[in-house]
Amino acid sequence: MEAAWRPAPVETTEFLTAAPAQALSGLFDQPPAATAVGDPLPPLWHWLYLLDRPAQAELGEDGHPHDGLFLPPLPQRRRMFGGGRYAFHAPLCVGDLVTRSSEVLSVRVREGGAGPLLLVTVRHTLLVEGEVRTVEEQDIVYKQPGDVRATAPKTGRQADRRSAPEWSFGLRPNPSLLFRFSALTYNAHRIHYDRDYARDVEGYPDLVVHGPLLALALLELPRRHVPERAVTAFSFRSTAPLFAPGEFQVRGTRDGDAVALDAGLTGAVPGITGTATLA
């Protein structure tokens, strides 16, 4: 494990257009969130922009690039989105010229249940004309194939003893939805659309639901139910992989200005949990 690896910071700039936001709105079966210059994007929807677009020849067997500035020098590494923290100072809008400044904050090795894990925290600062609009910290977990095979979740479900959520909706991540989200975010990782690869090579029981898709689904709850309240901060943690084609419940409960959020199978331990702070 390469705990001493420290790449240099990098900047990326892009104009924000309406088309990706319209596409994600359709994926969630919602009216277009932004259609014209000046329309604000919902929180986290910047994930549709400033994407890495490697050449096909640069991809490995798993669909991830062989090499990249923020990819640690590990042979046959496997990548998981572990969680993140976000501060939304002002919305990003269609028509903005956005600069993203990215840097690796920390690299650390931790012993997992069946082998070492490399935990990398990356910070992205998104600016418009020098003004900070969004700051995000992403926690990325890397493991090597020899460390552990991804195993199927236990068949026994743990009862969910919480009270009924204030808000909820059902999300059915079937293969077509996962494929469309992969295309929208330029994510070629095969665990999301190639069932044979996910099962036979990486050891999952079925297609894996994207962590970013689940995080975006969590923030759909305040967006739909309290659109007049801006989300100023958000954090989430992926606790267990979720698999297609089950139907998940996305749930949220307010406590003052905070909203506790999670998603998972009904009656089971959530696969993702988060907290949003409202203005």
Residue ranges of domains in the chain: 10-278
Average pLDDT over residues 137-165: 60
Tens of pLDDT, residues 108-135: 887 766 567 888 899 999 999 999 999 9
Mean pLDDT (the chain, rounded):
88
Q: 3-state DSSP: the chain helix, strand, coil percent, rounded to 5?
A: 20, 35, 45
Tens of pLDDT, residues 209-257: 999 999 999 999 999 999 999 999 999 999 999 999 888 999 999 999 9
At 154 the pLDDT is: 44
DSSP code of 62? T
Average pLDDT over residues 143-157: 48
Q: Whole-structure pTM over 0.75, yes or no?
A: yes
At 151 the pLDDT is: 43
Tens of pLDDT, residues 55-74: 999 998 889 887 766 677 66
| pLDDT above 60 for 49 | yes
**For 78-82, 165-169, 183-187, which range has the lowest pLDDT when averaged over its residues?**
78-82
Which has more pLDDT, 278 or 70?
278
Q: Which letter, b or e, does each residue of 40-71 get, where b requires 16 or more Cβ atoms within 10 Å of its Cβ? A: bbbbbbbbbbbeeeeeeeeeeebbbbeeeebb
Q: Quickly state the pLDDT bin for 183 (edges 50, 70, 90).
A: very high
Which has more pLDDT, 177 or 142?
177
Max Cα-Cα span within the chain: 52
Q: Quickly state the pLDDT bin for 144 (edges 50, 70, 90).
A: low
| pLDDT above 90 for 87 | yes
Average pLDDT over residues 165-182: 95
Task: Return the CATH number of 10-278, one of 3.10.129.10, 1.10.1040.10, 3.30.470.20, 3.40.50.970.
Answer: 3.10.129.10
Average pLDDT over residues 19-27: 97
Q: Quickly state the pLDDT bin for 162 (edges 50, 70, 90).
A: low
At 4 the pLDDT is: 66
Which has more pLDDT, 7 or 62?
62
Is the distance from CB of 78 to CB of 144 less than 8 angstroms? yes
| Spatial CA neighbour of 80 closest among 172, 170, 171, 192 | 192
User: Please, which residues have CB within 8 angstroms of residue 56's CB and are 6 or more apart in sequence?
Assistant: none
| pLDDT above 90 for 178 | yes
Backbone φ and ψ of 249, nearest 5°: -100, 125
Tens of pLDDT, residues 185-199: 999 999 999 999 999
* C-alpha pair distances (Å), 44 with each of 17, 70, 85, 139: 15, 20, 11, 15
Element (H, E) at 138: strand 131-143
Burial of 99 (0-12, 13-18, 19+ CB in 10 A): middle
User: Please, which residues have CB within 8 angstroms of residue 239's CB and are 6 or more apart in sequence?
Assistant: 269, 270, 271, 272, 273
| pLDDT above 50 for 259 | yes
> Count of alpha carbons within 13 Å of 9, Cβ hemisphere only?
10
